[in-house]
Structure 1
Amino acid sequence: MPMAPYPPAGAVPGQWTTGLCDCFDDPCNCIITCCCPCITFGQNAEIIDRGGTSCFVGGLIYFLLAQFGVACLYACSYRTRLRDLHSLQEHPCGDCLVHWCCTPCALCQEYRELKNRGYDPSIGWVANAEKMSKGAATMPPMTQGMGR
């Protein structure tokens, strides 16, 4: 199943829908990320990988790498993939530098970006895919107007 093909209404193409420091736009996710960033990373990774990486495995790898202080190097690769999937700018600086300087802010921004693009990272890829397929099945077919 492809990622959501269109940015949300009012979004500027190529730009993030929220800023890096807008963490309190989603206070619940902000608190979870500050307390246990491996949870948010795992949720993001599962959606970005389209189920190829489970939330548990992604979060566990992140947790283990964090013990050596290098989790940001792993997480920045997912930020790059998210940007590539949605043609987003590398902003405000390089992906690895964003994660190195402020991993919680980066993870929160990525989580919000997925939510703003129609995904709910908290329910996982399978539930999101089912939700999207049901939405596509209930959408009326597009027809051309009849002209005379």
Structure 2
Amino acid sequence: MSWTVSTQPQAALVSYDDGEWMSGIYDCCQDKRQCCFACCCCPCFACRTTKVFGECLCLPLLDICSCFHPATMSVRLSVRRRYGIRGSLCRDCVSSTCCASCVWCQIAREMKMRELPTVLGDIISR
């Protein structure tokens, strides 16, 4: 007997609100500790945030050699897509270029506020 796959698995999209960021780009005072860390050493903060997001730890280091921040912009876009946040590539580019540390703080706050509890499935031993 052979089985036929009728549908392919789809990527999970988690959306909570009406597609908006839970905090603004300049709402750094919502988490002063993260804000201070990002202001003192933005590359370190960006690397830590990227690792928590599940991407390569060194990805933000690509931004050091450029006034345009491709890694910051791509992680911001990925966060928007993961959480179903409306926006545009143009807005991501402008935000990432104008104030990268504020963008990293916003990304970190968003991940922290939208953190889902871990649910472990039943493990059946055979």
**TM-score, normalisation: structure 1:** 0.63
Of 34, 43, 62, 1:38 maps to 43
How many residue pairs match? The answer is: 110
Q: Identify unmatched segments of 5+ residues in structure 2.
A: 1-10, 122-126
Give structure 1 stretches of 5+ with no counterpart.
Answer: 120-130, 139-148
Q: 1:86 aligns with which of 83, 86, 95?
A: 83
Partner of 2:8: none
User: What's the CA shift for 1:99?
Assistant: 0.8
Relative to structure 1, the CA distance from residue 39 to residue 3 in structure 2 (aligned partners, 3 Å threshold; closer, same or farther) is: farther
What's 1:5 paired with? 14
Give the ranges of 4+ consecutive aligned residues of structure 1 lying more than 4 Å apart after TM superposition: none
2:59 & 2:12 partners in 1: Cα distance?
Answer: 19
- Indicate the residue corresponding to 2:6 in structure 1: none
TM-score normalised to structure 2 length: 0.73
1:83 deviation in Å?
A: 0.6
**Alignment match of 1:18 (pick from 5, 23, 43):** 23
Deviation at 1:71, TM superposition (A): 6.0
Structure with the higher fraction of residues in helix conformation: 1
Of the three residues 121, 137, 141, the one matched with 2:120 is 137
Deviations 1:95-135 (A, max 9, x none): 0100111111111001000000117xxxxxxxxxxx72xxx
1:6 CA drift (Å) = 5.0
